[in-house]
Amino acid sequence: MTTSTTEILFPSLDSEINLKFACYLKVLRLLFDQVSSTPNSVVSKRQIYYRDVTLFKKQAVINQCIDDIASSFGVSTETLGVVAAQKGLIYADLQYYYRDKLVNLEKNEGATLLPLISLESRHEDFRFISSCPEEIIIVEKESVFSKLCKEHGQKNKILITAKGFPDRLTKRFLYHLTQHYPEAKVVALVDSDVYGLMILKEYKYTPAIKITEFPKLPITVKDQFARKTISKLDELGHMNPSWYVSPCSRLEYGGTFLFDNANSLGHLDITCRDFNNMKSFLRTLLEFDHGSPDPEMKKVVRELQMGMFFFKKREMD
């Protein structure tokens, strides 16, 4: 959760400040109505955004307002009755207890939305009953995910897709799932283009999961670039550290490769915008690679470099 200290003087000659004040006031009103309504009822940030699209204009505005308000009150967004929207899908035979409540997922019911969990959930909130899966497969595209669901119906594998770039709920769920099943192989099936490789980075290399105490991690995240520590001042002026880790640092790069003979689809041309994004992304990866060499990182760097050299990309079929 990213928060900031903002001073707003109202009314103002600056129309943007007036608009920001109106947004905060509207969100406060909606949050008050939420916590005053039916006990234990929840609403997603997306639902709040749709209550006044004309005023908010962008989802990012709502996200920042809610995070700032929660931080100012010293509570989590869930305390205010706001939860992450369920975007990701899962296809699995999986049973577990989450905060003493049984969750039962069955493949014969088809793919379902990822079960709702708190973004502040901890390792001890979960108790998995099902045996360890052979493989946990993260899929970039929903179309490929649907195809794989038909192929892996009888296999002890778990399929997950965030339908593009992963949301916080999907990343949090994957983190807990892979921590509880350390023996399971975890593979990401992504396109050999800059967006697919950036999605892989979000899962494997981006420290996005806040944990309470790093030394007590069930499985130590050894990759330095897959974790970080941030210290913030509290109300008493003390520096309190927060630890962040990536959703799954042991994730392997799968999917398609630029020169994959098994892929029936041909190569596609990249645009100038793609090339510029690849150049910027490659620079970031090379900084990571210099600090902590990783064989999976080398695959990603190779795909980017070859794509830039041949001005081509390849998508999964």
Average pLDDT over residues 274-288: 89
More confident of the two residues 5 and 282 = 282
- Rounded to an integer, what distance in angstroms lies between the CA atom of residue 296 and that of residue 8? 46
pLDDT for 176 equals 94
Could you report the per-residue pLDDT of 111-127, keeping only the tens digit for each? 999 998 888 888 889 99
Q: Which domains, from first to last, does the chain contain? A: 15-83 (1.10.10.10), 89-313 (3.40.1360.10)
Model pLDDT, residue 228: 63
At 224-261, the pLDDT tens digits run 445 666 665 554 556 666 778 888 989 999 888 998 77
Report residue 52: phi and psi, to 5°: -160, 70
Q: Note the pLDDT tens digit of each residue in 124-162.
A: 899 999 999 999 999 999 999 999 999 988 889 999 999
Which distant-in-sequence residues (6+ apart) come within 8 Å of 302 by Cβ? none
Tell me how far apart the alpha carbons of residues 301 and 286 are, in angstroms, rounded to a whole number: 8
Give catalytic status of residue 50 as yes or no: yes
- Mean pLDDT estimate for the chain: 84
Least confident of 36-50, 75-89, 209-223, 253-267: 209-223
Strand-pair partners of 97: 102, 127
CA proximity to 159, closest of 120, 123, 105, 197: 105
- CA geometry: angle 159, 45, 13, nearest 5 deg: 145
Structure-model confidence comparison of residues 80 and 92, the more confident one: 92
Q: In sequence order, what are the residues at sequence separation of 6 or more whose Cβ sits closer than 8 angstroms to the Cβ of residue 197? A: 190, 281, 300, 303, 304
Catalytic residue among 24, 49, 50, 253: 50
Cα distance between residue 85 and residue 47, in whole Å: 8
User: What is the distance of C-alpha 250 from the center of its chain?
Assistant: 16
- Distance CA(305)–CA(281), nearest Å, equals 11
Alpha-helix runs per DSSP H in the chain: 15-36, 45-49, 53-56, 59-73, 142-151, 168-180, 194-204, 272-291, 295-310
Whole-number CA gyration radius for the chain: 21
